[in-house]
Amino acid sequence: MEKPLPHRGSGQHVLVVADDPGDTELLTTTLELAGYQVGSAGSGTEGMARLTRQRYDLVVLDATLPDLKHLARGRRIAPADRPPLLYLASCDSLHRLLPELGLGGEDYVIKPVRVAEVLARAQVLLRRRNPGPRNGMSGHGDLVLDDATCRARRGPRPLDLTPAEYRLLRHLLANAGRVLSKEQISRHVWGEYRGHQAIEKLVSRLRHKVDLEEPALIRTRRGFGYWLGG
């Protein structure tokens, strides 16, 4: 019997708020390897400060934090910018979460956490927030990707992409308008950092296939990374 494919992200921004260094390191590493862009905070106060400075797609929050009330102020953030919450709950703190869980944008996992469960619950919350295109189709301008068949086209022209090129293009498309660093791209495409030269060669090959027509879609922000625009 084949094992199910692991749950993966598409560059969504996740904030981990926990005061246990072990939990923070485990969750941050796991989520980054799964294709998410991850930030961390060690307290509710710090987490709230980060939420006011940057938009996140999901917050993974330790429900046992002593200053949890500071993060609850995130309710004041505009609904369109308010991220769903995935609580890390102990058995004896679960009863305090029940009123929150009825609001629709929250879920929980019981500590000690199992990374497979965290990834699965995170994906469910993100899908509720952004259901995504129908039938696995997504696009930007005349660029269209079909995740059901792992094929892409630019206008009527099919793009003959390798798996790595498709993952890169899918990652750029999911973060259209955002600059992605070489390290972020490398860890999403290969699950590890392979160095600047490997990334530059991959981007160059993809450009030759995608940007035969105007306008060019794959852009360089020198010294920072790459982004999809145009």
pTM of this structure = 0.54
Residue 106 has a pLDDT of 78
Residue 31 has a pLDDT of 92
Top CATH class, 134-228: mainly alpha
Residue 160 has a pLDDT of 92
Residue 211 has a pLDDT of 94
Three-state SS string over the chain comes to CCCCCCCCCCCCEEEEECCCHHHHHHHHHHHHHCCCEEEEECCHHHHHHHHHHCCCCEEEEECCCCCHHHHHHHHHCCHHHCCCEEEEECHHHHHHHHHHHCCCCEEEEECCCCHHHHHHHHHHHHHHHCCCCHHHEEEECCEEEECCCCEEEECCEEECCCHHHHHHHHHHHHCCCCCECHHHHHHHHHCCCCCHHHHHHHHHHHHHHHCCCCCCCEEEECCCEEEECC
Residue 199 has a pLDDT of 92
Name the CATH architecture for the domain at 13-129: 3-Layer(aba) Sandwich (3.40)
In the chain, domain spans:
13-129, 134-228
Residue 7 has a pLDDT of 59
- Give pLDDT tens digits along the chain (230 positions): 334 444 567 778 899 999 999 999 999 999 988 888 899 999 988 988 888 888 888 999 998 888 776 565 544 555 555 788 898 887 766 656 655 554 456 788 888 888 888 888 888 788 766 545 545 566 788 898 887 788 899 988 999 999 889 989 988 988 888 888 998 888 888 877 777 889 999 999 999 999 998 889 999 998 889 999 86
